[in-house]
Each structure stands twice: as C-alpha cells, then as structure tokens.
Amino acid sequence: MNNKLTRRFQVAEPKETQEYKIQIYPDEYEKYIDTSKESYIEEPLFFIVNLTRLKKGYFNAEASFEGKLFTYCSRCRDKASVDLNQVFKRAYKYSEYEQEETEDLIFYNTVYIDLFSFFLDEISLVIPSYNLCKVDCKGVCVTCGENLNKNSCIHSKNRV
C-alpha cells in the first residue's frame, strides 16, 4: 500500500469536532482502490469526514463523498456515472485491548485513527455491480457485438 496515500488517512482523536477533506486522485484510485478497473474517476474524488468527540476515547465519524465515479454499462460497456451523495456514519472507541468490531462500533488502540479502512469500506459499497448508461440501454448484438444504442445490425433481434 502506498505510504503517501495511507498517511493522509491517519488522524489524531479530535478535541471537539474537526472536518477532514481527503482528496483521491485518478491515478491513486486506479492503483489502490479499484484495481479491477471496473470503475474510475476523471477528476479528484473527495472523502469528507467530520469527527466529533463525544468524550475521551469516544467519537463519531460522519462521512460523504464529493465527486463523480464512473463505471461501464453492464449491457453495452459505454461510460455510466454513479451518484455519490450518500452519508456514512461510524462510532469509534478507544480500547487498549483488541476487540471484535461491529458495524456500528470500531475500536482503535493507537495514537492515530486510520480512516483509510472507513474509506475503503464505504467506496466499495457505492461501486455498483450492475450499472446502466441509461434506463433504456439496448445493449449489444450477441452475434456481431454492435452497440445497439448507436447502430442497428442485421442481427438486432439477438440482444444481450
């Protein structure tokens, strides 16, 4: 894992409320986030995290993405965009001992809180496994591979 990328995700426990705006560049996204190359970004993607300290050793994280994510249409392989306007929440608790995490509570036992795993978990949830370039995508011809959204072919009754 790239140390430069990971370091930007390590933060100290906040004193009150603190916002972190972490920028991911297209080359980093391709190299470290989606190595399968099934999704990509054209402009930097921001992961915005607000950490709110509840009391010593306890804090909440509320995060969102800012930017556009692109995938390939499941029917025709044309470019398809994904809306990234979800909000994600996590609670963190300091513990000297390793404990099993739950969906709602993450334990940490170091000086720094690693937001990278939070980012990876959430970005993997917003990358759709099935996406369309448009609702009425016609797909491709199974015989000749012609994109039926752009052209028709003599086999156009055989679509994927």
Going from the C-alpha of 10 to that of each of 15, 41, 99, 120, the distances in angstroms are 15, 23, 20, 14
pLDDT at 10: 63
| Cα distance between residue 142 and residue 156, in whole Å | 9
**Is the residue at 84 inside a domain?**
yes
For residue 136, give every residue at least 6 positions away whose Cβ sits within 8 Å of its Cβ, in sequence order, or none.
Answer: none
Q: Is 142 a member of any domain?
A: no
User: Does residue 160 belong to any structural domain of this protein?
Assistant: no
Residue 17 within any structural domain of the chain: yes
Q: Which domain holds residue 31?
A: 3-126
d(CA 14, CA 53): 6
Residue 118 resides in a domain: yes
Tell me, yes or no, whether 135 lies in a domain.
no
Whether 102 is in a domain gets the answer yes
CA 130 to chain centre: 15
pLDDT (mean) for 97-118 = 77
pLDDT digits (tens, 9 = 90+) for 83-95: 787 888 888 888 8
* 155 occurs within a structural domain: no
Q: What value, to the nearest 5°, has the Cα angle with vertex 36 and ends 33 and 37?
A: 80
Domain count across the chain: 1
Most confident option among 13-17, 25-29, 37-41, 132-136: 132-136
